[in-house]
């Protein structure tokens, strides 16, 4: 369906395009249970994830096309918020998702970078770094970008 993902950090505007082929299917299978449960810990990374999906306005059931998640710096809540992520792969919800990302960035006390523009192609993954990231270990921080992209691909490829 899709062969590349644009990953953008809202505070800096830094973006990178990564190929789907860069992510092994085995890695995605290991992350699937946490996404299916809508929350859970990733012990190797020392983080807890909490997922939400947009609701269909008619059925009030989760719909595809986008998802968001929070990354907490611990294996269970309560724990410091490290980052919030939004992945979008449906143009019908892209504008609303982008506005949500900008609002989340402003909620950190920092304005979005002027360089942070909504990617022109789908899918995209937008990341808001939270103040709690300052307390995260170097190992956790170095792992997060790859993990965020892997989670985005699982969400994109998981039918509801």
Is the pLDDT at 160 greater than 80? The verdict is: no
74 by DSSP, 3-state: which?
Answer: coil
Residue 104 Rama label (left phi>0; alpha psi -120 to 50; beta): alpha
Average pLDDT over residues 135-152: 91
How many angstroms separate the CA atoms of 88 and 96, rounded? 10
- Per-residue pLDDT of 33-60, as tens digits, reads 999 999 999 998 899 999 999 888 899 9
The domain ranges of the chain are 4-157
Q: How confident is the model at residue 1 (pLDDT cuts 50, 70, 90)?
A: confident
pLDDT category at 31 given cuts 50, 70, 90 is: very high
pLDDT at residue 65 in the model: 95
Stretch 72-88: mean pLDDT: 96
pLDDT bracket for residue 136 (50, 70, 90):
confident
Give tens-digit pLDDT for 85-122: 999 999 999 999 999 999 999 999 999 999 999 999 99
Sheet hosting strand 66-72, strand order edge to edge: 15-19, 4-9, 124-129, 81-88, 66-72, 47-52, 39-42
């Amino acid at each position: 369906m899709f062969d590349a993902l644009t990953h953008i950090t809202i505070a800096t505007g830094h973006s990178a395009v990564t190929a789907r082929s860069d992510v092994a299917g085995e890695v995605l299978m290991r992350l699937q249970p946490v996404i299916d449960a809508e929350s859970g810990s990733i012990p190797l990374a020392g983080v807890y994830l909490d997922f939400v999906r947009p609701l269909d306005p008619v059925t009030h059931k989760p719909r595809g096309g986008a998802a968001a998640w929070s990354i907490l710096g611990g294996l269970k809540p309560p724990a410091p918020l490290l980052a919030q992520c939004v992945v979008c792969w449906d143009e019908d919800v892209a504008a609303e998702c982008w506005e949500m990302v900008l609002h989340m960035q402003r909620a950190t006390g920092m304005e979005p970078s002027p360089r942070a523009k909504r990617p022109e192609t789908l899918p995209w993954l937008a990341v808001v770094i939270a103040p709690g990231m300052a307390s995260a270990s170097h190992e956790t921080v170095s792992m997060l970008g790859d993990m965020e992209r892997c989670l985005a691909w699982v969400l994109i490829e998981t039918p509801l």
